[in-house]
């Protein structure tokens, strides 16, 4: 049986995972990229799956901790077994997540850069595009300013979309 302080730590862990998942999902930077990304880009799918996986994991850990603490108080073997099953379920869910993270280590970064490159090139080709507001928001949220483009001069784009304090940091 788990002691009550240990189950409290699992409840705290579950709440912190839920909080982290929510902040990550609804955070300005992640939401901004998700809203700008195209349907063909995998970022939006990854964004939603990570959120739902985090929420499911946190709920499983909280349930396991509650079952374990109730089993400790009531000395119930059935509740202990259910709590153990929930911990095993959480562990079994983390194994594929860790494997995915290892095998797809750059997929999230690459898909975010694809979104940025698409928006940047749209603005570079058509300066009156509605994408200019999106590019300005990306520059402000990530505190960056443009990029080094193999397609030619980009200073015109930076001057129109970078915050005034970032214009001297072009390409970063």
Please give the structure tokens belonging to residue 112: 């975010």
Least confident of 81-85, 103-107, 121-125: 121-125
Q: Using an 8 Å Cβ cutoff, are 60 and 93 in contact?
A: yes
Question: Counting Cβ atoms within 10 Å, is residue 75 exposed (0-12), middle (13-18) or buried (19+)?
Answer: exposed
Spell out the alpha helix ranges (H) of 37-154. 43-74, 77-103, 107-125, 131-142
pLDDT tens for 3-22 read: 566 777 778 888 888 999 99
Q: How far apart are CA 85 and CA 77, in angstroms?
A: 12
pLDDT tens digits for 28-53?
A: 888 888 888 877 778 888 888 999 99
């Amino acid at each position: 049986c788990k002691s009550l302080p240990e189950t409290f730590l699992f409840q705290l862990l579950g709440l912190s995972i839920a909080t982290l998942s929510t902040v990550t999902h609804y955070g300005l930077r992640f939401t901004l990229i998700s809203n700008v990304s195209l349907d063909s880009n995998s970022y939006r799918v990854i964004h939603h799956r990570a959120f739902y996986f985090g929420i499911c994991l946190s709920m499983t850990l909280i349930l396991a901790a509650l079952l374990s603490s109730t089993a400790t108080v009531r000395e119930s073997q059935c509740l202990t077994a259910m709590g153990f099953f929930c911990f095993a379920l959480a562990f079994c869910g983390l194994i594929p997540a860790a494997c995915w993270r290892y095998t797809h280590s750059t997929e999230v970064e690459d898909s975010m850069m694809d979104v940025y490159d698409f928006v940047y090139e749209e603005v570079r080709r058509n300066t009156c595009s509605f994408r200019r507001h999106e590019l300005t928001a990306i520059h402000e949220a990530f505190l960056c300013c443009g990029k080094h483009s193999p397609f030619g001069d980009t200073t015109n784009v930076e001057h129109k979309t970078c915050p005034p304090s970032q214009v001297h940091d072009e390409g970063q």
